Structure 1
Amino acid sequence: MSVTVFIQGRNGATRWQPGKRWLLLPILLIAASTGLYQHHAKQLIQQQTKVDNERTAREQQKEELIALKNATETQLSMLVAHVARMQAKLTRVEALGQQVALNNQLEDQFDFSSEVGVGGASDLGSRIELDQLIADMDELVSRIDNNNVQLSLLETVASNLHIDEERYISGRPIQKGWLSSPYGLRNDPFNGKRTMHKGIDFAGKEGVDVIATAGGVVTWADKMFGYGNLVEIDHGNGLSTRYGHNKALSVNVGDVVAKGEKIAVMGSTGRSTGPHVHYEVLRGGQQIDPQKYVYRKAG
């Protein structure tokens, strides 16, 4: 197949017959135009997809920020409530400290009354200031530290005011029972020989409470030969007391006990013929007659 082209000019018509390469040129131009169009269309689609993805990412980030903000607001609200509870508890501690100071006539030396009047209505929609919350917490910690120091000093002073009363040995080591064997020479219940009984025995029902006759520090709470389960309490000034033959002990070595506090339950352990407590008073490590301590008035 061949194509003949006639070109009309001034000198007449000119005949031109293109070769096969010229016939392929339109096809190549069409193909090139189509490829260029498809390339630009693909780029537009990619750019649109990128824009859509970025828009989706921004929307997701926005939602995450909103969720984070809500979560932060919730956590801050919880912190505010926690601080409020701490403030309420601290106010109660301050009131208690002030009352203790007043009872001991030490209110001029210990002031727990400052900065306790807090409260008021709360707007649920108000914005929470993190800086202010942190400042409130720092102030609260400072108040707690200050009150701990004052309470520690107050405890020391109060203890010193009452220590003589606590260390004053008086009364019986039981609340229910009777004196079964006094201090002094007696016939030994096991061998019948005349021996020195270095304490007072109080008999009673097994399991009744054995109590401290004065405040002090527990220096022995274990088995001891002849005594069975024994508690020994140091009351200072060279005085101590012993409580023997207990069924069980309620204190440990190092415990600080108060006057009248339960330290054991009555039993018959060790060298014993029945339920009772063997009670001794020692001065400088030597047993003395407990009778004057048992029957003297409480200090």
Structure 2
Amino acid sequence: MHLIITDAWLARSRAIHLSGTRLLLVGVLASVFLMLMTVSVYHWLVVAGAGEGGGRLGRFVLNDEMAQRERFMRENLDAMARKVGEMQARLLQLDSLGERVSGLAGVSAIKAPPPAGQGGALIASRSLTVQELDALLRELNIAAEQRSDWMTMVESRLLDEKIRKSMVPTQLPTATGVLGSPFGWRIDPLTGRSALHTGMDFQAAQGEAIVAAAGGVVVTQEYHAEYGQMLEIDHGNGLVSRYAHASRVWVKKGDLVRRGQKIAEVGTTGRSTGPHLHFEVLVQGVPQNPEKFLVAGRDLPNTRSVATKSP
């Protein structure tokens, strides 16, 4: 780059040649000079307030910036206040739902104290302050923690109830559920004499699935002279279900079984006149009428009612 400087007084000129390095250096120096000038002017107008006009301009710039910040904060506070109002409304909905759920779980619902009476003419509304919003958030946090603890207790109670029901033999042990011989006194099919039938006989085809009437642990899996291939499942609290005359067994002693799980197949082993399932329920070793348990399970999910005796 060439620069020509002409001196009119001396009537002469001078040529200056700037290489790439020199040109870059001049550009950097010029930029630094402009930055220093800009900072100096800003300091003169805003900080130092040089002159009455500069002071007014500086105060105007500062006031406008502060107004923008305040407007931004106010808009955010108003938005947060609306969210807090929505959270309060949802807590009221949860309280209403909690009253219904508490009746199912058998626990007392949370009774929040009624708010203090307030009233008066509405003069004007105003936005919440940061302190007021913070206090509301603290109250909501406390209320949410109380309801969380209460819901945990309700969940535990309902889970206990579900487990208790799943451990009671109310599931029909065969798919057809056709009753052949009920619990109680009857004429023994082999001797022709009166005898106590300690269970219920379900008519079923050879090989039909036998399922667990409730969850539990297999405590007996053996061949019995009268019951044939036999299984016993302990459901806890002295409650045991017995399945007899099976042709094939799918579980062994010590296995955990769930409600409705296939545990064996219908057969005619032991003291039997044909394929069927002999089903018993014992409490503390004493035979009970299984129909009481099966009838109680009619309203439970995944259960089937006992069918009447086929003609």
Instruction: Compare CA radii of gyration and give the structure with the larger one.
Output: 1
